[in-house]
Structure 1
Amino acid sequence: MTSLSGKTLFITGASRGIGLAIALRAARDGANVAIAAKSDVPNPKLPGTIHTAAKAVEDAGGRALALKCDIREEDEVKAAVAATVDAFGGIDILVNNASAIWLRGALDTPMKRFDLMQQVNSRGSFLCAQACLPHLLHAPNPHILTLCPPPSLDPKWWGPHTGYTLAKMGMSFVTLGLAAEFGPQGVAVNALWPRTLIATDALNMIPGVETGNGRSPAIMADAAHAILTRDAKTCTGNFFIEDEVLHDAGITDLSGYAVDPSKPLLPDLFID
């Protein structure tokens, strides 16, 4: 399979950034995309809403469903999944993209922020998978793709920001567990993470780093597309790095993804 034409994707946090890029790449194939995010009204600090994302998906050739959904809320997730099934007849792919970030040490991490990261990242990914799996199990080539890093217990990633690392590694361990449980049932469960920084609003959380030091979200979208078009029965339990996925797909020149070719690319977190 080389196309996502006719497939239905449920993507969390798809109103902007990597989630939107993945949605647009699928839309160019003629996919159905459920955009599940909290961004219902414009935010002066962050561009994009579920409505602008839906229009962009439709302009790109797909069908879109804008769903105001806080993935911390079980009832909202279940309602969003039900609306997606009602609109498109099922769900083929879940992309767990939504994530909260706070890169501070323990004494500078308010518990409200700590709780937010755990609820959105690991719990949210688990909840969305739980809600989508009854439908994925009936899909012909079902995938769950979560934006999280390879699991690591290296203290250098834990010391500077324990709360955030716990939240991201929580997503990784959820991926590990779901792959072990549902891979044998034909559902591909994989993770995807970038080797270098990706130019999204999240970069503003990292002091001294600019978007010019990263690559466009399009590189993650192309890598996700390459994974989601693979045979689910033979592609599960992997922690993919995006440049390796593209290399395997025959794309070796990544220079076009650089936001500013004159600036050095910086490695993303959790990459050695």
Structure 2
Amino acid sequence: MNFTDQTVIVTGAGSGIGRAAALRFAELGAHLAVVDRNTAAATEVAAQAGSGALAVSADVSSSDDVQAMVAAVIDAFGRIDVLCNNAGYGLPGNVTEIGEEDWDSLMAVNVKGVFLCSKHCIPHLAQTGDGRIVNTSSYTAAVGIANRAAYVASKGAVSALTRAMALDHVDQGIRVNAVAPGTINSPYFDKMISEAPDPQALLDELNGRAPMHRMGRPEEIAEAIVWLAARESSFTTGSVLTIDGGTSAW
């Protein structure tokens, strides 16, 4: 796989899966836009990616931020070939426990962010005749888990939107796919484990979710994102690729 002379945007690239994907794209020669609302994290990852990478501070739930981000990328690189909608987060609670404001905030990032970034990038992706979008969904969109109602609902929306956009934009030469990771060893879970009353018990629980008896690594998901974004996957669109260590097969 080779991304030389191709411009790739990765949102939520300051940590976890996004960071791993951004660094992998850079290794493969991409002109890289590292997008995160954490300015310091975006700057750090861009520095690690190399001198050609662009750090962009943006909140994907803000139309103004997204339009400014797209303008900055076009100004720097002149084109957009790949958009990776990875920005997102989770919070605990069922529908009786989650506050309305928390629900709206999560949906704004996890779902509206995919909508806004796609909306403003698609005109540029279409100009290439070979545009690609890769969204980050979750295995929970298909099987559900307890005590994560808002997160599960948001990822169900991402999977559905992926399929809809694939059909809507195929005639523009744009392919749209998603990855659906399982439980991934990331800063999100590192923080959760460190704050748990019994960190080892929580770690054992997280590792036990999959038949492989471990969490996934961000780099393992990054490889799938890169493949879906590559020309080697040219007959793939409207797919949601599950990478969960067998969890959803249980």
TM-score w.r.t. structure 2 length?
Answer: 0.85
Aligned to 2:176: 189
The equivalences for 1:29-178 within 5 A come to 29-41=28-40, 49-58=41-50, 63-149=52-138, 157=144, 160-178=147-165
Q: How far apart are 1:86 and its partner, in Å?
A: 0.8
Checking the alignment, whether the CA contact within 8 Å between 2:80 and 2:125 is kept in structure 1 is yes
Equivalent AA in structure 1 for residue 49 of structure 2: V
Q: Provide the C-alpha distance between the structure 2 equivalents of 1:187 and 1:178, rounded to a whole number of angstroms.
A: 9
Which among 187, 190, 193 is matched to residue 201 of structure 1? 187
Checking the alignment, whether the CA contact within 8 Å between 1:78 and 1:131 is kept in structure 2 is yes
Q: Provide the C-alpha distance between the structure 2 equivalents of 1:145 and 1:25, rounded to a whole number of angstroms.
A: 15
Q: Provide the C-alpha distance between the structure 2 equivalents of 1:13 and 1:56, rounded to a whole number of angstroms.
A: 16
1:8-57 C-alpha deviation (Å, 9 max, x unpaired): 1111100111001001111111211111111014xxxxxxx111011011
Aligned to 1:238: 239
Equivalent AA in structure 1 for residue 158 of structure 2: M
Q: 1:217 to 1:13 in 2, by over 3 A?
A: same
Q: How far apart are 1:106 and its partner, in Å?
A: 2.0
Q: How far apart are 1:242 and its partner, in Å?
A: 3.5
1:115-160 C-alpha deviation (Å, 9 max, x unpaired): 1111001111011000100000012421100011368576xx2663
Equivalent AA in structure 1 for residue 175 of structure 2: A
Structure 2 regions of 5+ residues with no counterpart?
208-213
1:184-206 C-alpha deviation (Å, 9 max, x unpaired): 32101001122x42111222458
Structure 1 regions of 5+ residues with no counterpart?
42-48, 244-264
- Give the 3-state SS of the residue equivalent to 1:23 in structure 2: helix
Q: Provide the C-alpha distance between the structure 2 equivalents of 1:130 and 1:271, rounded to a whole number of angstroms.
A: 34
Q: Provide the C-alpha distance between the structure 1 equivalents of 2:133 and 2:249, rounded to a whole number of angstroms.
A: 22
Q: 1:127 to 1:236 in 2, by over 3 A?
A: same
Checking the alignment, whether the CA contact within 8 Å between 1:150 and 1:172 is kept in structure 2 is no
Aligned to 1:256: none
The equivalences for 1:8-27 within 5 A come to 8-27=7-26
Equivalent AA in structure 1 for residue 62 of structure 2: E
Q: How far apart are 1:271 and its partner, in Å?
A: 6.4
The equivalences for 1:249-264 within 5 A come to none
- Give the 3-state SS of the residue equivalent to 1:180 in structure 2: helix
Checking the alignment, whether the CA contact within 8 Å between 1:188 and 1:235 is kept in structure 2 is yes
Q: How far apart are 1:224 and its partner, in Å?
A: 1.5
- Give the 3-state SS of the residue equivalent to 2:53 in structure 1: strand
State which drifts further: 17-26 or 167-176. Answer: 167-176
Q: 1:26 to 1:152 in 2, by over 3 A?
A: closer
Aligned to 1:215: 216
Equivalent AA in structure 1 for residue 241 of structure 2: F
Q: How far apart are 1:105 and its partner, in Å?
A: 1.5
Q: 1:78 to 1:216 in 2, by over 3 A?
A: same
Number of residue pairs matched by the alignment: 235
Q: Provide the C-alpha distance between the structure 1 equivalents of 2:202 and 2:6, rounded to a whole number of angstroms.
A: 37
Checking the alignment, whether the CA contact within 8 Å between 1:105 and 1:160 is kept in structure 2 is yes
Q: Provide the C-alpha distance between the structure 2 equivalents of 1:202 and 1:266, rounded to a whole number of angstroms.
A: 21
Q: Provide the C-alpha distance between the structure 1 equivalents of 2:9 and 2:224, rounded to a whole number of angstroms.
A: 17
Checking the alignment, whether the CA contact within 8 Å between 1:30 and 1:63 is kept in structure 2 is no
Q: Provide the C-alpha distance between the structure 1 equivalents of 2:187 and 2:140, rounded to a whole number of angstroms.
A: 24
TM-score w.r.t. structure 1 length?
Answer: 0.79
